Amino acid sequence: MRFLFLGDMVGRSGRTAVADRLPGLIADFRLDFVVVNGENAAGGFGVTEEILQDTLKAGADVVTTGNHVWDQREALEFAPRQERFLRPLNFPPGTPGRGSGLFEARNGARVLVANIMGRVFMSPDLDDPFRCAGDLVAACPLGEQADATILDFHAEATSEKQSMGHFLDGRVSLVVGTHTHVPTADHQILVGGTAFQSDAGMCGDYDSSLGMEKEEPLNRFLTKVSRGRFEPAQGEATICGLAVEISDRTGLAEKLAPLRLGPRLAEAIPAFWT
């Protein structure tokens, strides 16, 4: 199975780049399944239902989120009815929406996708992500109920992300980190066969501070006084993500490589797709 994960879309620039490039990527590389993190898509904070629908129309099979999931209050209303919209699974029982789902890929495979949020340096402080992840894979084992299992681990600390990768190694197809908006160089297949990357990066303008216009973040570092709110940078975006070849037989990773398309960062196209 050919799988693509795209990191956090930031603002209009990021979501426009995904809408423009994703349909061609799906067609050119015959992708079976795509997950996009959309939690910063609406002005940098949260996601609206219109943006969600546009992202799904562009070819995303699932849109994940993170700590900004409820920044657009309408998400509380549409989350229960949008099955392909995921908020972190470790929110308390009774929270609107869902944190995981079993979906059908274009090749007919059953793909379990989960969105879980870390605890280290994160707010709100949610339920234990490791217990939550363990319960999930025990209830829907890879190779039994699921042909592939994907985890978007939305977390700040690299140590927590790497530990989650090792915790789930051999039991899921991919653990990929989001939230820090900077693509890491530690993409690898762990010893048990799980693909891993600490952070996929963002889909946004990299002439910025994490996708935001750089002047206000810099001002706050220099003066400790806010002069206004953060606004998404509006320059041309680079889309960043991770491509994974998943075995149809085992559900584990066989190949992986970063995807980067756009200015600022060195472009990267997975060689095993060309």
Active site residues: 68
142 within 8 A of 148, measured Cβ to Cβ: yes
Q: Which residues are CB-contacts of 71 (< 8 A; sequence separation ≥ 6)?
A: 42, 45, 46
Interatomic CA distance for residues 7 and 203, integer angstroms: 6
DSSP state of 126: -
Q: What's the rounded Cα separation, in Å, for the pair 264 and 59? A: 25
Q: Outline where DSSP puts E strands in 97-234.
A: 100-104, 110-117, 148-154, 174-178, 188-189, 195-197, 202-203
Strands 239-246, 253-261: pairing is: antiparallel
106 within 8 A of 144, measured Cβ to Cβ? no
